[in-house]
Amino acid sequence: MNRRLLTLFFFILCSAVMSSLFAQSDSLPQKKSFDIGLFPKKDPGGLKTLQVSGYYRFFATYTTQQLPYYLNQAANDTVRPKSLFIGDDSQLPNLLLNVSTRVSERTSFGFDIYMFQFLTGNIKPAYGTQVPDSLKPNTQDPLPLPVVRLGSSLSLNLGLNLHGSFKTNFGNLNVHVGGTQWYAMSDLTMASFKGYNRYILFERNPWDPIGTSINGRYDQYFEEGAIDQDERWGNRAFFGLLLEGNTLPRGFSFAVLTGKTELNGGFSTIPNYSYGGKVKKDFGPNNFVSLNTINSISYTDSLAQTKFGFNMATVEFGFMHRGFALFGEVGGGNYYSPNNDDGWGEALQLKFRTPATLKIPTFELHYFRISPKVVNNNAVFWNTATPEYSANDIPAGAIGSSAVLQPFGSSIVRLGQMTNNRTGLNLNIETGKKKLSFSGGLGTSSEITPAAAVITYGHPVNQYTRSRFWRWEFPANVGPYQRYSDIYRDMYETVNLSDDSSGVVVNKKYFNVMEGQFKYRTKVSGHELFVFALFQLNSVQSKWSPVIVVNENAYVRQYASEFEAYYRLSRLLMLSAYYGYERTIGNYLTDIDEVTRRPLNQYGHGIGGGLDVALGKNTRLYLRQRFFYFKDESFELDYFKGREFTVELKSFF
């Protein structure tokens, strides 16, 4: 019996070997191979590769408010004394699956599947459904039909993306169709603001990675001045057709796109789309010239009788020699609508950078000028001057709205951030040693023409906590004195000026900004300790000044200091601490309180601590406790304090 089994096994093995030899041999094309065996003779077709990755993120916020702070004074709506919120009140998924596959050597496609609960505060259908207790399934029978499912939103997040790559004798062609691609063309046409990477790490962004080690994120921030970001960083979302040509003869490359940007999306049935592209010529590493354009067209009605939108065209160049770099982009743009058609205006920026070395500081000089006629919300600069046309009355940011953002007014911005109707000069400095590094700079800018008699500014300390006061939507003109506007993960305040002439603005506004960040790394008892300090100083006044104005000549002056420390307790545990202080002062040409007869006089504090816990190779738990405080000594209703505890669990796979 054993001999028969051994003989049968030997026969099957020999058959498999012979079949595989015939299937793989090129020397016997006329021979007919066996149909059995481990290796098929021909490629059976189908998918070549299939990859599934993604992450799960749990996020919860528990807030205790000690004062009845007004969210909307007109509606007599105040903050809740205690609130527990699970998830983010925005379209950020709890579970995200990235699926990608290749069907041939030249064609691949991918899509993202997400699941989350998009809560609206009401028991009614929205993007998902909030399930009342009476409809929740029994724990012993969790899936009885036809009850409403928990976590019922299962859909495509970025759409179904089709990618194709084709190698030709003239170069490589890449095709992207459908879905949402993240793409950047140039600063003035299509990109998002990166800045100089000066920020606080204590509160994590929803898209932040977890790092390879418990202290890897802080090590990288010290060494490189930045942390890893996902594909959205610096790019803009685009839906449609994107065709790219690379490694073409004589150093040429190109890109053509047509479809919808972030401004054209939504549920409106009114036609709207964007188109553009670029042609680039490379002369060597970091030496190039590029022609870029982006254009947007929207209509005011479904019959497409009247349109509004913008055009933007630039020439971009970059040259580097012995570490010295010169970069520039020069062009123009216009904005047109039934209410506005002022023609074209200029837009340009120039940057000069010295070589990066540890021996001497690195300097970057940045000059820009952007006309008030230039509007492009796909670019890195803000619109602070031109009211944009809205095709319906639904507020911007709401479902079904075709409106775009209204101008921010004369905004206080970070160093390097640009707006239209402004020209300015920025100087940035970076230097580093083994244990201590510094990054900072100063900037001065002015309006090109006098704009609206308002100034807008944010509050760096507790900005994320403040933005979470308003849930479900992003309202404008709210708060105790209707001065606050809530935007994603931030908010800004608007103050009015009174130095006009019969309602006509006569004075241009001048802006000064100073920033500085120190980073220190050492070891205590053999464990890493990181200390980061970030300082921001701003002033706005009616006359030019080379430095920050610190007296009553400034309409608004703001000082903010933030400190954070991270100490590695063990391979699996990281301790964190935070302290922030903020001061904002207005002069008597700004809003005056009717009771105290005084202008803005604001204080803000933030104190926090937390833990980073490694639960596995790809899983982290982040705990943060923050105590927050804000008071305007002149406006008695603008006063809040409380504490906030956040829990984030994130796992990648």
Whether 159 is covered by a domain: the verdict is: no
Which secondary-structure segment (H or E) carries 431? Answer: strand 422-432
Residue at a domain's end among 351, 385, 409? 409
List the structure tokens of 326.
């010169």
Residues 279 and 397 in one domain: yes
Residue 116 lies in a domain: no
pLDDT for residue 357: 77
Q: Determine the average pLDDT of the residues in 618-643.
A: 97
Structure tokens, 400: 């079904």
Helices and strands (H, E) in the chain, number of each type: 3, 29
When divided into structural domains, the chain yields a total of 3
Residue 590 within any structural domain of the chain: yes
Backbone φ and ψ of 516, nearest 5° = -155, 140
Whether residue 246 is found in the same domain as residue 335: yes
Asked whether residue 1 is domain-assigned, the answer is: no
pLDDT of residue 453 exceeding 80: yes
3-state secondary structure of 11: helix
Per-residue b/e over 455-482, b at no fewer than 16 CB within 10 Å?
bbbbbbbbbbbbbbbbeeebbbebbbbe
Omega before 209 cis (within 30°)? no
Residue at 135 is within a domain:
no
Are residues 526 and 452 located together in one domain of the fold?
yes
Q: φ, ψ for residue 318 (rounded to 5)?
A: -150, 135
Distance, in Å, from the CA atom of 254 to the CA atom of 311, rounded to the nearest integer, reads 19
3-class DSSP assignment, residue 31:
coil
Residue 542 lies in a domain: yes
644 in the same domain as 584: yes
Q: Would you tell me how many other CB atoms lie within 10 Å of the CB of residue 343?
A: 10
Question: Of all helices (H) and strands (E), which one includes residue 312?
Answer: strand 307-321
pLDDT digits (tens, 9 = 90+) for 587-629: 999 999 999 999 999 999 999 999 999 998 899 999 999 999 9
Question: Are residues 247 and 182 part of one domain?
Answer: yes
DSSP 552: T
Residue 474 scores a pLDDT above 90: no
pTM, entire model: 0.84
Q: Are residues 404 and 428 in the same domain?
A: no
* Residue 53 region by backbone torsions, left for phi larger than 0, else alpha for psi between -120 and 50, else beta: beta
What is the domain range of residue 459?
A: 53-91+421-653
Q: Is the pLDDT of residue 13 over 60?
A: no
Residues 250 and 346 in one domain: yes
Co-location of 294 and 427 in the same domain: no
Question: What is the tens place of the pLDDT at every residue in 273-291?
Answer: 899 999 999 998 889 999 9
Structure-block tokens of residue 397: 């940011």
Give the pLDDT confidence score for residue 148 in this predicted structure. 45
**Mean pLDDT lowest among 15-24, 499-508, 513-522:** 15-24
**Cα–Cα dist 146/404, whole Å:** 40
Q: Is 304 left (phi over 0), alpha (psi -120 to 50) or beta?
A: left
Query: Between 401 and 334, whose confidence is greater?
Result: 334
H helix or E strand, kind and range, residue 183: strand 171-183
Question: Both 475 and 619 in a single domain?
Answer: yes
Is 402 within 8 Å of 396 (Cβ atoms)? Answer: no
- Quick one: pLDDT band at residue 270, thresholds 50, 70, 90? confident
Query: Distance between CA atoms of 45 and 42, rounded to whole angstroms?
Result: 9
pLDDT digits (tens, 9 = 90+) for 145-196: 444 444 445 555 556 677 777 888 888 888 888 777 889 999 999 999 988 9
The three-state secondary structure class of 421 is coil
Residue 497's pLDDT is: 93
- Nearest CA-CA partner of 591 in 580, 604, 602: 602
Integer angstrom CA distances of residue 350 from 72, 217, 288, 347, 361 = 44, 32, 15, 11, 20
Q: Whole-angstrom Cα distance, residue 297 to residue 283? A: 35
Whether residue 563 has pLDDT greater than 80: yes
* 428 in the same domain as 316: no
* pLDDT, averaged across the chain: 83
Q: Are residues 365 and 438 in the same domain?
A: no
| Residue 22 falls inside a structural domain | yes
Least confident range from 303-307, 365-369, 388-392: namely 388-392
Average pLDDT for residues 213-232, to the nearest whole number? Answer: 85
Question: Is 390 found in the same domain as 436?
Answer: no
Q: Is the dihedral of CA 192, 267, 404, 329 positive or negative?
A: positive
Q: Tell me how far the alpha carbon of residue 505 is from its chain's centroid.
A: 34
Report whether pLDDT(90) > 90.
no
Average pLDDT in the 360-369 region?
96
Query: Is residue 218 situated within a structural domain?
Result: no
